[in-house]
Structure 1
């Protein structure tokens, strides 16, 4: 009889399943609780978690909710347990030797154990899914498309996570190191992004990004949660007299499902890599923290780098508190923590504490790496501090200054966007002046000749990356009148008529008035505004803005007397911009109404919202808070306008029809 090579051993497969039945059995029991709870509540109350009998789309929405919110975390953790179960023999020399003496080739061991682990991972999903399908069919909730999409998503994520856990199992030979290595591989990019972003903030002028997400796809769980989402659209149901009854779900879809497919393909590559490592793995490597020889230097210096970044910044923050790092003390503490990481990793690899002899070369390499990184960032060799994206590179730009937020789009507002870039470039060029302002002679200037302003700039590039800078800098009377300074350029930009109109969406950007509210301190009463009233007030506010009676920012006038000259009322306008696919964007603005705003005041009186008795200023109503009697008769100039507050936060949601 001709001999045949078998790549699957049924006996070993069943042995793994029977040996670890408490694992998959317990997971199946926990998973079954959810469809059973749904069945119970459907029987008793006719609904469960937003799912009503006879509404299959609601069941699909529940499937998608689970797929995007629960499946990644479940596969991440439960897949780790399944991998630790089927590959546990690799971590004991006796068990590894025994398995490798069986009349089964390593290909057979690999395929059989992988399938056994994958089966243990999928059995709970199968049990839970079957019960969900039976329940949905019984109550008219069965919807095949949503079910098929969910099944494919679960299969793709399960395969990827178990493949990555298998790779981690073959990199190490230690049962305790395996889960740590697995989780590190999944979150290393996100951890490094956070550490490096915080590190860069201590060197790069204005850098304020906490997390860039530049290579976020290398942290699969983070990427899945941030990019795979569920989108639902509802319509409003009203009765015969137009009264609201309820919202009805009309469509639901999972967005960016292709990402799961890409990760599943990546799982194939990870599995092939794991098999290549297994074919060359030595049984004697059982117990080693890193079982692959050529990976050991990466582990040693990688641990040293992480220790230097994390430990160095942590210890530095305990002894120094500066806006920007002092290079010498930072480099010292980074070297100390990096050395601890270096020797700790060496001890784990050598399984002994005697690792100091001859280690000076590696330690010197750690020191050199720290010196190069700190020196490069200190000298800004890449020019990051002064880099201002070109208009061709910008998809969207956001400016936040003086409690107002502005959004600019290339091709629509290129002139304003160029002014924003000019302000940014001028601030970056005056880095030394701004950083040294506390030690300079600015402090001797009169109070009315010096103030400070905070400017936040955010660019969304055409590549989808976010570039953010935040600056806190002095403004002086002298520089506000000197052409070319950032003080002058910022003042010219913010106080331009285009920006005043942009602030209230009177520049034809597609926003329409959508109501608002007014509160009168004199009456202690508030009212909601209709769309018609909001439109009339906006038209009056536009006239005041064009005439210079509203929106002029006097940077140097921060006196309480001036602040108290606004009328004792709160006026807020809301806006709505229609987008594609039944979506819209909301915005709102809070306005301080002042005596010089004659058009707005007349409009409010004409609409019957205020009377002459309501036109009392804060200083007149609360004289004890605004300098006593003298504050009652102070009238501000047209330039001394209290800046309104605008939020340009974007809220996207489905329209109601």
Structure 2
């Protein structure tokens, strides 16, 4: 009889479906419970929305949320489980020999096993989609576009992660190595990026971690979580959000296309993979140096920095990172990772003689990486983005008993912070002279006391990336009296309307509803008209630069700031949906807010509630304590 070869084997397909039926059953039950069953409970359960329009919106929102969020989780977990089950024979020498002796080409074995997983996924998800369509139809909430986009979302996510998992399984000859490789590769780019930035943060003044856009794209779970979102439109007449739809399908299409490419790559690896590598840590020759150096680099950056902060940092007791110690720890852990990976691949502890040259090269490469980071060859520390490349800026200013934040988009306002950043970098040597943060707790004359503040900047750039800087500011009060110093310029900016407007100006204000004026246990309620009058006075003081004058002067802040609290209650609209919400403007104020003080006096509030500064309150408290002690 003439033998034949085939690219697909029906008998193997049926064997896969019956052999691994518990796995398929668990997958199907999970989707049935999260999909049709949950939708039926929402539509007809005891807490179902009675109004048909609102019920339809709720069902659509839940439908899209399930197929995006639960679909992503299910794809990540089921992808590796399906791949491990269907290609587990590649890790058993006798099994792989048996399969490769069958009259089926390797392409046929791969495609049969790979398509088995896809067949189960499509069957389960299509069935769930049909059942959900019946539920939505019976509830009068069927929307074909939303259901199809949800189904496309679930299938696209599964295609990517399942293909990625299959590629990981074909690269290794050990079954337990497959999920480890799968998990590490999913988070590798973001992990390495974070570790390198962590090292940079130890040496660069003001450097703060920020995930680059390309790193998020190359971390599939984060990329899909960030891009896939559910959006709706707020209906002012009905006062509800309707017309829910799924955003980010274009991004998902890119990941799905990459998934198809990964499946082809897995096929190419499978065709050339030697059968005798079953049981090896790495089953493909070209992947062995990648694995060796990858483990070495990851161990150097993670374990090396961990060793330094666990052992050397507590021993040195310095706020500065000792670079020779850091480099020694990183190099040592790099060598440990290099030889540990070599032992895994060679299945022997005797690897030093055969790999010592590679170990020396590994140590040199890791040491060079540390030196490049320390030398700041890319100019990261002193980089200030050009104004034309900045789309928006979010700032945070942390001073003495004060905290200001806001978001700016006007170029002239952003430029002022760019100038401040440049001034801070020019004086970095003494502004970072003691980053232990114990300055404010020191005692003694404020002129000689080292004080502490912070400036955080987050730039959203025009290319879609984010740049973050966080500067610890250690200064003496005398520096505030030097007009050209960075601290004096920052203190002046803190009182400027550019900084105070986000704290005091109410966006989308509809009306005031009242307020409270309080000092200690005494208080008086304000009418809506009183609140409006006081708010107008606050805005006048803000534009005149009378708020935030003592942001970095602790003694003057205590002398001039009142313990009185003013709360104004109002109703405003949300920026995106237009839904009205209730909020309040809570603030403390000082003797500098002359317009506000005049308004309080005209309303007769200062006669009912006395104005007491923090310094006066401390004096009164000391006087009471002395009287009690004498008595």
Q: Over residues 230-278 of structure 1, what are the superposed CA-to-partner deviations in whole Å (9 max), with x where a residue is unaligned?
A: 123344678xxxxxxxx54421111212111111111111111111111
| Residue 263 of structure 2 corresponds to residue 284 of structure 1 | no
CA distance, structure 2, for counterparts of residue 489 and residue 460 of structure 1: 24
Of 119-128 and 575-584, deviating more is 575-584
User: 1:427 and 2:437 equivalent?
Assistant: no
Map of 1:90 onto structure 2: 90
The CA deviation at 1:101 is 1.3
Q: Deviations over 1:437-493 (max 9, x none)?
A: 589xx9999423553321112211111222111112233344333343212322332
1:45 counterpart SS class? coil
Alpha-carbon distance between aligned partners in 2 of 1:264 and 1:475, rounded to the nearest angstrom: 54
Q: Secondary structure at the match of 1:189?
A: helix
1:538 and 2:530 matched: no
Aligned to 1:137: 137
Cα 1:523/1:337, change in 2 over 3 Å: closer
Map 1:177-196 onto structure 2 (within 5 A). 177-196=177-196
In 2, distance between residues paired with 1:621 and 1:479?
27
Distance 1:318 1:418, change over 3 A: same
Q: State the TM-score, normalized to the length of structure 2.
A: 0.87
Residue matched to 2:245: 253
Q: Secondary structure at the match of 2:203?
A: coil
Q: More helix by proportion, 1 or 2? A: 2
Deviation at 1:611, TM superposition (A): 5.3
Deviation per CA, 1:571-620: give whole Å up to 9, x if none: 35769587577589999753213455342234346567x35121331559
Query: In 2, distance between residues paired with 1:220 and 1:134?
Result: 33
* Count of residue correspondences: 610
TM-superposed deviation, 1:30? 3.4
Aligned to 2:308: 316
Query: Retained in 1: the 8 A contact 2:480–2:491?
Result: yes
Q: CA deviation at 1:184?
A: 1.3
Contact 1:172 1:292 (8 Å CA) reproduced: yes
Query: Contact 1:449/1:556 (CA < 8 Å) preserved in 2?
Result: no
Equivalent of 2:292 in 282, 300, 310? 300
Distance 1:51 1:333 in 2: 65
* Secondary structure, aligned partner of 2:353: coil
* Correspondence for 1:349 among 345, 355, 360: 345
The 8 Å contact of residues 125 and 155 in structure 2, kept in 1 or not, is answered as: no
SS of alignment partner, residue 283 of structure 2: coil
For 1:507-526, list aligned pairs within 5 A. Answer: 512=509, 515=512, 517-521=515-519, 524-525=522-523
Cα pair distance change 1:522/1:271, threshold 3 Å: closer
Q: Check whether the contact 2:522–2:609 (CA below 8 A) recurs between aligned residues.
A: no
Matches within 5 A, 1:394-409: 394-401=390-397, 402=399, 403-409=403-409
SS at structure 2 position matched to 1:383: coil
Give the Cα–Cα distance (whole angstroms) in 1 for the partners of residues 590 and 556 of structure 2: 15
Question: What's 1:447 paired with?
Answer: 446
Equivalent residues in 2 for 1:229-628, closer than 5 Å: 229-235=229-235, 248-319=240-311, 320-321=313-314, 322-401=318-397, 402=399, 403-409=403-409, 412-414=410-412, 416-436=413-433, 446-448=445-447, 450=449, 451-496=451-496, 499-500=499-500, 503-505=503-505, 512=509, 515=512, 517-521=515-519, 524-525=522-523, 530=528, 534-547=531-544, 549-553=546-550, 555-558=552-555, 561-562=558-559, 565-572=561-568, 579=575, 582=578, 590-595=586-591, 597-604=593-600, 610=605, 612-617=607-612, 622=617, 627-628=622-623
Structure 1, 369-378 or 388-397: larger mean CA deviation: 369-378
Contact 2:207–2:381 under 8 Å retained in 1: yes
Q: Per-residue displacement from partner, 1:554-574 (whole Å, max 9, x unpaired)?
A: 6334368516x5152233576
Matched position secondary structure for 1:252: strand
Aligned to 2:223: 223
Query: Over residues 144-191 of structure 1, what are the superposed CA-to-partner deviations in whole Å (9 max), with x where a residue is unaligned?
Result: 121111111111111111111111111111111111111111111222
Aligned to 2:628: none
Deviations for 1:418-454, whole angstroms, at most 9, x for unmatched residues?
2211211121122222333589xx9999423553321
Contact 1:560 1:626 in 2 (8 A): no
Distance (whole Å) between structure 2 residues aligned to residue 291 and residue 526 of structure 1: 78
Change (3 A) 1:569 1:58: closer
Which stretches in structure 2 are left out of the alignment for 5+ residues? Answer: 626-631
* CA distance in structure 1 between the aligned counterparts of 2:457 and 2:38, rounded to whole angstroms: 50
Distance in 1, Cα, partners of 2:7 & 2:603: 84
Contact 1:476 1:487 in 2 (8 A): no
2: CA distance, partners of 1:461 / 1:586: 33
Structure 1 pair 375–206 and aligned structure 2 pair: CA distance change class (3 A): same
- Distance in 1 separating the partners of 2:258 and 2:368: 34
Q: Distance in 2 between matches of 1:72 and 1:518?
A: 48
Is the alpha carbon distance of 1:433 and 1:281 closer, same or farther for their aligned partners in structure 2, counting shifts above 3 Å? same
Q: Structure 1 residues 533 and 255, CA, compared in 2 at 3 Å: closer, same or farther?
A: farther
Q: Could you state the TM-score of these two structures normalised by the residue count of structure 1?
A: 0.84
| C-alpha separation in 2, matches of 1:354 and 1:101 | 35
Q: Give the secondary structure class of the aligned counterpart of 1:460.
A: strand
Give the Cα–Cα distance (whole angstroms) in 1 for the partners of residues 606 and 443 of structure 2.
47
Q: Which moved more, 1:365-374 or 1:540-549?
A: 540-549
Instruction: Find the counterpart in structure 2 of residue 154 from structure 1.
Output: 154
1:384 to 1:249, Cα distance in 2 relative to 1, 3 A:
closer
The 1-side partners of 2:582 and 2:54 are apart by 34
Aligned counterparts of 2:621 and 2:408: Cα–Cα separation in 1? 38
